[in-house]
Amino acid sequence: MEIRTIGVVGAGQMGNGIAHVMALAGYEVALNDISREALDKAMATIRKNLDRQVSREKITQDELEVALARITTTQTLTDLGPSDLIIEAATEREAVKQAIFDELLPHLGPQTILTSNTSSISITRLASRTDRPEKFMGFHFMNPVPVMQLVELIRGIATDKDTFEACRAVVDKLGKTAASAEDFPAFIVNRILMPMINEAVYTLYEGVGNVQSIDQSLKLGANHPMGPLELADFIGLDTCLAIMNVLHDGLADTKYRPCPLLTKYVEAGWLGRKAGRGFYDYRGEEPVPTR
């Protein structure tokens, strides 16, 4: 099937990025959030990021205007029902995602493909609670969406070939690269990335190095563009902890045990950049290590 219209659930960091790239690629996009403020903020962010692309001569001013015109916003989730493809990009909590799909189900067209941008939750389990497990899969973008070139496509046990091929065609049209991942906890990227971040937190917790020395070591010693603690702050420490818990619970291996210090930061509400504090304090002109 050819996908022309796309519904995006959630107007946060991931959702606005997904809406941005989809509209720029020529899709009609309906962006949903329960908060009008979140939708207004998302559209402002999309405009700012498109302006940046114009200034770097990646796109023209005309392309910017046409892309913006392709995005409509709504606080009514069921408005997304007729879309050819729906991408859920809400918070990384399974109960929230399930409630979204439950509300959408009676309003979907027979052709509608359901997907989740989850970074770790079982696609098979999410799909099994819908009326179309064969038309359900994982559509996992990397952050920031307009910049990162990879999309993980995750098939549940029931996902059919036509659904996979339709989603892969969307990734191709975006000019991004699809990586096919099996439906095991955290898939490919986070299965490898999150234990590295968790180990960096253990290195801090055990006093092997401080925040600055750990990040500097990986940037200069392994040529990483960001240190692991800086990256954790960028992702959100609550998200990192949630993924480590999925790995620990799903694979029952102690090597995935979340570091107690990571748990402590989340309990304190020090969630990284979005909260103003994490492994760095972002409230001044320059980020300052908190340990």
Whether 119 is a known active-site residue: answer yes
Whether 245 is a known active-site residue: answer no
Q: Please tell me which residue in 32, 152, 198, 230 is annotated as part of the active site.
A: 152
Q: Which residues contribute to the annotated binding site for NAD(+)?
A: 10-15, 33, 92, 97, 119, 143, 274
DSSP 256: G
Task: Judge contact between 278 and 237, C-beta under 8 A.
Answer: yes
Q: Which positions ≥6 away from 176 have C-beta within 8 Å? A: 21, 148, 149, 150, 151
Whether 20 is a known active-site residue: answer no
User: Going from the N-terminus, what domains does the chain have, and what CATH number goes with each?
Assistant: 5-182 (3.40.50.720), 191-283 (1.10.1040.10)
CB-neighbour burial class of residue 48 (10 A; exposed 0-12, middle 13-18, buried 19+): exposed
pLDDT exceeds cutoff 90 at 92: no
* % of the chain beyond a pLDDT of 70: 100
pTM for this model (two decimals)? 0.90
Task: Judge contact between 75 and 32, C-beta under 8 A.
Answer: yes
For residue 85, CA distances in Å to 125, 139, 171, 234 come to: 19, 11, 12, 28
Whether 152 is a known active-site residue: answer yes
Q: Please tell me which residue in 16, 32, 119, 198 is annotated as part of the active site.
A: 119
pLDDT (tens digit, 9 = 90+) per residue, 133-150?
A: 999 999 999 999 999 999
pLDDT (tens digit, 9 = 90+) per residue, 174-224?
A: 999 999 999 999 999 999 999 999 999 999 999 999 999 999 999 999 999
pLDDT exceeds cutoff 80 at 1: no
By residue count, the chain amounts to 291
For residue 89, CA distances in Å to 5, 139, 149, 256 come to: 16, 9, 18, 25
- Strand pairing category for 150-155 and 177-182: parallel
Task: Judge contact between 123 and 106, C-beta under 8 A.
Answer: no
pLDDT (tens digit, 9 = 90+) per residue, 38-91?
A: 999 999 999 999 999 999 999 999 999 999 999 999 999 999 999 999 999 998
